[in-house]
């Protein structure tokens, strides 16, 4: 189940055609619905994204915590998910980006949202970068 904080963002996102206020106002957000790796239940999480052509790039920063967010483990177990962007909802498949491409995409996210530099500085883990690609419905 989403935390109360996440649930408020999810509700606001859906009520306002993908727009939210507060600390995420103006930020590009998707609602990512994954299949729980352990529970098998659908879990929805608001996540900032970076547009990269036809891909939605998301960062498993977990605000700089020393462990990956649950949605990352869920995508590792089941890379098929659903994304909501604005009023559109569609299926995606996750690709895990490595090496120089990962570094370039992370740097682009930092340029868009400087807080991601702080998250990287807070942890010793290498923060994963995931590209979401639209699939046929």
The alpha carbon of residue 88 and the mean position of all alpha carbons in its chain are separated, in whole angstroms, by: 16
**pLDDT in the model for residue 110:** 97
The structure tokens listed for 120 are 């990287």
Q: Which of 117, 10, 104 is nearest to 131 (CA)?
A: 104
Calculate mean pLDDT across residues 130-135.
97
3-state secondary structure of 39: coil
Residues 4-44: tens digit of each pLDDT:
889 999 999 999 999 999 888 889 999 999 999 999 999 99
The structure tokens listed for 106 are 């992370």
The structure's pTM equals 0.94
Spell out the residues 6+ positions from residue 80 whose beta carbon is closer than 8 angstroms to its own.
35, 91, 92, 93, 94, 135
Residue 121: its H or E element: helix 115-122
**pLDDT in the model for residue 137:** 63
How many whole angstroms separate alpha carbon 61 and alpha carbon 125?
Answer: 9
Residues 84-124: tens digit of each pLDDT:
999 999 999 999 999 999 999 999 999 999 999 999 999 99
How many whole angstroms separate alpha carbon 46 and alpha carbon 32?
Answer: 6
What's the CA angle centered on 93, arms 41 and 14, to 5 degrees?
A: 60
Residue 50: its H or E element: strand 50-52
């Amino acid at each position: 189940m989403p935390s109360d904080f996440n649930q408020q963002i999810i509700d606001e996102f859906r009520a306002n055609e993908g727009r939210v206020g507060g600390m995420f106002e103006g930020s590009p957000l998707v609602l990512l619905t994954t299949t729980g790796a352990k529970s098998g239940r659908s879990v929805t999480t608001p996540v900032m994204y970076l547009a990269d052509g036809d891909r939605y790039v998301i960062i498993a920063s977990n605000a700089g915590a020393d462990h990956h967010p649950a949605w990352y483990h869920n995508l590792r177990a089941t890379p098929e998910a659903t994304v909501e962007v604005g009023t559109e909802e569609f299926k995606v498949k996750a690709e895990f980006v490595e090496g120089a491409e990962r570094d370039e995409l992370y740097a682009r996210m930092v340029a868009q949202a400087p807080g991601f530099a702080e998250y990287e500085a807070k942890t010793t883990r290498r923060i994963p970068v995931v590209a979401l690609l639209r699939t046929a419905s």
